[in-house]
């Protein structure tokens, strides 16, 4: 309550100005996949009101834990990775969140309707907003945070930093996995005191997440774990690797998608000349953005038994004399023993030569970098487009047979190598490669409608031939991507299908059914804003007339800063989305008068 009217007027004006300044900073994160967009700050009856994106079907993390109980460590880590990605994007722009807590993390269905799959950080960088029922403290007009979740240096008057946001994230993840905060007390003053002076309550359910939580909740910000080290630690909890396999590790995709991947019944494309149940691979026939769907698709067959893992290495040692307490063997027996060993060694070498002649590499004696199942005779390089023929259900235990499509178009590739992760040993590649690939490919995957990460891990025998590197693929989740992805695409590239259109692409519409990629710095007809899914009973012919309205409803251009009096929603529907049953359409924005757009667009 204000002491007098003059103070009230000045304080209200300061609040509004401060909120607007923060909103402008937060607007720099517009379009980030894990941030709720801030549109505007309005003044009503002397108070600032924040206009933010509406997220249908969302439930905040605090309410989810209250309704359903604490979450599993891997699910907490998945949420933590998304929030950390949002925080890092803000920190790179100099924007601190200042109030990371469970109530500010929204969990919403994704495009497929999977509950809680979408993670969004809300209230980003907003210093003032109408009271949400939780007490906030201010110090010299600067937001400190919520009791129990603010960092100790903030509670004692220090400035907001990336380290303070990381501490608050640690408290939030602790709450998610334990069901209560690490410094939860009966009163708010007691919580603030505990944050500054007391150790966090020892976790009981955190499991693999416990060491990371301890590192995030260190009192001294100089000794606290950094965001750069937190990201791979969270990824390791999300995608644990318990042993090194002779083949590609099947758990290179996110652990939380495992159950869905095992039960989905989407269609796949077989390789030519193979039984349709062999998975999907290049057929040489590319669907267009409109017209009849290609034939030759079939449901994947039953999974094949997983690969046998390596056993422990056996290392022998040789000394310079007999072991202590033993006598030297008899000379004649020693000669006989040596002869027997030599014969056995010769037999082993001979049998090994026969095996290698039958099973070894066919060309030039080069080791297969990723094993016989993957069947590549050279290491994958950054940008290689691949065709994947799965022997069972895609993304199950048995890796696909991969072939490289040098043109990135001729064989309708299923994916592309987006990164290479070096390792010191094959064992390290098996342990860390999948999680590292999950992290390295996240940026491009967040911009595409239906893809997944997959790590091609070298075998022990092929580790050197693979260049000591794990290849990080981005593969179509339900079928091919029909061309290059991410930064491997070049302006002027014509889209064969919508599968490799990504958010913020600028397009030149060549016809109602054809488009090509152009630079956003020049003139263009449309820009991709996002994706939406049409009803399962919608036909491709119906999609042509329904998708614009669906995009206007679910991905409205005004949410991205486009004036609704000048711009309108548009869309592209590709054959592949109906062949695979995903029914995803690409939502774009264009000028209502049909004019071209330029680099100064929102």
Q: What are phi and psi of 593, to 5 degrees?
A: -85, 5
* Mean pLDDT on 15-44: 72
Asked whether residue 411 falls in the same domain as residue 551, the answer is no
Asked whether residue 70 falls in the same domain as residue 166, the answer is yes
pLDDT at 342: 58
- The band of 341, judged by pLDDT with boundaries at 50, 70 and 90, is low
Domain that holds residue 500: 489-591
432 belongs to a structural domain: yes
Asked whether residue 509 falls in the same domain as residue 527, the answer is yes
Asked whether residue 479 falls in the same domain as residue 494, the answer is no
Q: Are 196 and 183 in contact (CB under 8 A)?
A: no
pLDDT value at 15 more than 70: no
The string of pLDDT tens digits covering residues 203-245 is: 988 988 999 999 999 999 999 999 999 999 999 898 765 433 3
Asked whether residue 532 falls in the same domain as residue 440, the answer is no
Of the listed ranges 23-32, 150-159, 366-375, 558-567, the least confidently predicted one is 23-32
Give the residue from 412, 393, 417 showing the smallest Cα distance to 470.
Answer: 417
What is the set of active-site residues?
99
Asked whether residue 59 falls in the same domain as residue 104, the answer is yes
C-alpha to C-alpha distance for 200 and 149, rounded to whole angstroms = 11
Asked whether residue 37 falls in the same domain as residue 85, the answer is yes
Asked whether residue 446 falls in the same domain as residue 509, the answer is no
350 belongs to a structural domain: no
* Mean pLDDT on 422-427: 92
Buried b (16+ CB within 10 A) or exposed e, 483-499: bbbbebbeeebebbbbb
pLDDT at 429: 92
Whether the predicted model's global pTM rises above the 0.85 cut: no
Higher pLDDT, 443 or 81: 81
The angle at the Cα of 174, spanning 173 to 178, to the nearest 5 degrees, equals: 120
Q: Which 8-state DSSP code applies to residue 143?
A: E
Higher pLDDT, 501 or 438: 501
Asked whether residue 581 falls in the same domain as residue 480, the answer is no
pLDDT at 29: 74
Residue reference for tokens 């307490």: 325
Asked whether residue 288 falls in the same domain as residue 435, the answer is yes
Which of these three, 486, 513, 538, is where a domain ends? 486
Range ranked top by mean pLDDT from 19-28, 292-301, 352-361, 414-423: 414-423
The string of pLDDT tens digits covering residues 272-327 is: 333 333 334 444 455 556 433 332 222 223 333 333 222 222 222 322 233 323 33
Asked whether residue 20 falls in the same domain as residue 127, the answer is yes
333 belongs to a structural domain: no
116 belongs to a structural domain: yes
C-alpha to C-alpha distance for 438 and 445, rounded to whole angstroms = 9
334 belongs to a structural domain: no
Asked whether residue 465 falls in the same domain as residue 581, the answer is no
**Structurally, how many domains does the chain consist of?**
3
């Amino acid at each position: 309550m204000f002491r007098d009217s003059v103070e009230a007027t000045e304080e209200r004006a300061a609040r509004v100005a401060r909120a607007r300044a923060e909103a402008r900073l937060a607007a720099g994160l517009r379009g980030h996949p894990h941030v709720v967009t801030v549109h505007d700050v309005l003044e009503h009856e002397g108070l600032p009101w924040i206009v933010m994106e509406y997220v249908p079907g969302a439930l905040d993390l605090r309410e989810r834990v209250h309704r359903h109980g604490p979450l599993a460590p891997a699910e907490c880590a998945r949420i933590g990775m998304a929030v950390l990605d949002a925080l890092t994007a803000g920190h790179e722009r100099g924007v601190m969140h200042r109030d990371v807590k469970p109530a500010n993390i929204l969990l919403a269905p994704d495009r497929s309707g999977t509950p809680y799959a979408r993670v969004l950080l809300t209230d980003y960088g907003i210093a003032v907003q109408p009271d949400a029922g939780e007490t906030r403290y201010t110090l010299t007009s600067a937001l400190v945070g919520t009791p129990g979740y603010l960092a100790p240096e903030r509670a004692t008057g220090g400035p907001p930093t990336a380290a303070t946001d990381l501490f608050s994230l640690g408290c939030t993840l602790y709450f998610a996995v334990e069901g209560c905060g690490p410094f939860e007390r009966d009163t708010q003053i007691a919580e603030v005191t505990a944050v500054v002076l007391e150790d966090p309550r020892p976790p009981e359910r955190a499991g693999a997440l416990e060491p990371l939580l301890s590192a995030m909740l260190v009192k001294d910000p100089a000794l606290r774990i950094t965001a750069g080290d937190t990201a791979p630690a969270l990824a390791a909890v999300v995608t644990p690797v318990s042993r090194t396999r002779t083949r590609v590790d099947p758990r290179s995709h996110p652990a939380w998608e495992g159950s869905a991947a095992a039960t989905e019944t989407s269609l796949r494309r077989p390789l030519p000349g193979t039984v349709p149940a062999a998975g999907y691979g290049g057929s040489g026939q590319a669907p267009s953005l409109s017209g009849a769907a290609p034939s030759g698709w079939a449901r994947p067959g039953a999974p094949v038994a997983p690969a046998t893992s390596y056993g422990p290495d056996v290392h022998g040692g040789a000394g310079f004399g007999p072991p202590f307490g033993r006598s030297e063997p008899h000379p004649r027996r020693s000669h006989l023993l040596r002869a027997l060993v030599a014969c056995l060694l010769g037999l082993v070498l001979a049998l090994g030569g026969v095996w290698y002649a039958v099973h070894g590499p066919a060309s030039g004696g080069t080791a297969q970098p990723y094993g016989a199942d993957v069947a590549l005779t050279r290491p994958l390089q950054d940008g290689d487009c691949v065709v994947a023929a799965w022997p069972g259900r895609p993304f199950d235990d048995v890796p696909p047979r991969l072939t490289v499509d040098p043109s990135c178009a001729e064989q309708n590739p299923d994916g592309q190598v987006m990164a290479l992760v070096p390792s010191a040993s094959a064992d390290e590649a098996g342990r860390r490669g999948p999680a590292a690939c999950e992290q390295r490919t996240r940026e491009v995957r967040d911009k595409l409608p239906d893809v997944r990460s997959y790590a091609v891990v070298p075998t022990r025998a092929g580790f050197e031939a693979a260049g000591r590197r794990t290849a990080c693929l981005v593969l179509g989740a339900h079928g091919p991507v029909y061309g290059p992805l991410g930064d491997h695409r070049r302006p002027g590239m014509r889209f064969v299908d919508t599968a490799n259109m990504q958010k913020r692409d600028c397009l030149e519409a060549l016809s109602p059914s054809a488009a090509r990629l152009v630079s956003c710095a020049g003139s263009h007809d449309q820009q991709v804003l996002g994706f939406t899914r049409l009803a399962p009973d919608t036909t491709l012919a119906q999609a042509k007339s329904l998708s614009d309205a669906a995009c206007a409803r679910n991905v409205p251009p005004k949410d991205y800063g486009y004036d609704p009096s000048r711009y309108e929603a548009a869309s592209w529907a590709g054959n592949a989305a109906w062949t695979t049953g995903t029914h995803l359409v690409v939502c774009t924005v264009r000028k209502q008068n049909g004019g071209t757009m330029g680099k100064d667009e929102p």
